[in-house]
Amino acid sequence: MRAKYKLCLRWLNAFLTHRQDIRADAARAILATDPQTKSFLHVGCGPVNKTGLKGFNTDEWREIRFDIDKNANPDIVGSLTDMNLVQSSSVDAVYSSHNIEHVFAHEVPVALKEFHRVLKPDGIAVITCPDLQSVCEAAAKHGLLTPLYISPAGPISAIDILYGHRGLIAQGEVYMAHKCGFTYPTMQESVFEAGFKRCIGASRHGSFDLWLIAFKQDVSDEAMHKAASTYLPSQ
């Protein structure tokens, strides 16, 4: 009986290793792009593609969709804190929209270092997430439950922005819960601690979010402002 158990265990380990190798080979194939075409890793993409992403919705960019949920049909399945299927220095940009707040505070440095790792030397990371300063100001003024705006998912109140959309979480999508949060200064500090050299961005109080572009290498002020006008929304 013990021998059968050990045989089954060896078979299972071999199967899982083979499956991981297949996934890794598929990821490498996706990342083997034409050097003339820039690629960006759309982390935490969900069902979204590059169509509505300012600056990335052109033929100049090839999108690689990355998500923890296989039902979103991503090109690569993985989490922000474990992007091992993405090779180091393999993409020109990382685009992260409203997913960094879904990891615990102690995992944020891990996720941002993963962003830094997969970027080419001159790569950029475009990050947006809720701005806690403006959300807390709205909560103090209007209350936690008063709707602040209407989204495709329905009315959004301060409590939804702070802790995650209540309706989606109630439906079982527990990964939509927010486990940490940022103001612009704390996000700026976080990207520098992860190894990025410069950044540009701002909080948008009217939209209750913040946007930031982090640069892997040192760049001029002119280059930063050009990138901001290309990839960041207007205030």
Q: pLDDT, tens digit, for every residue of 67-110?
A: 999 999 999 999 999 999 999 999 999 999 999 999 999 999 99
Condensed to tens digits (0 to 9), the pLDDT of residues 22-36 reads: 454 555 555 555 566
Single pTM value for the model: 0.86
The counts of H helices and E strands in the chain are 7, 9
Q: What percent of the chain is predicted at pLDDT more than 90?
A: 79
DSSP class of residue 43 equals: E
pLDDT at position 170: 95
CATH number of 36-231: 3.40.50.150
**Chain center to CA of 151:** 20
Q: Where are the beta strands (DSSP E) in 104-165?
A: 119-130, 147-151, 154-157
**Average pLDDT, whole number, for the chain?**
89
| Residue 204 vs residues 69, 130, 150, 183, 212: alpha-carbon distances, Å | 29, 9, 17, 11, 11
How far is 117 from 90, CA to CA, in rounded Å? 9
> What is the pLDDT confidence band of residue 1, given thresholds at 50, 70 and 90?
low
Condensed to tens digits (0 to 9), the pLDDT of residues 160-185 reads: 999 999 999 999 989 889 999 999 99
pLDDT at position 55: 97
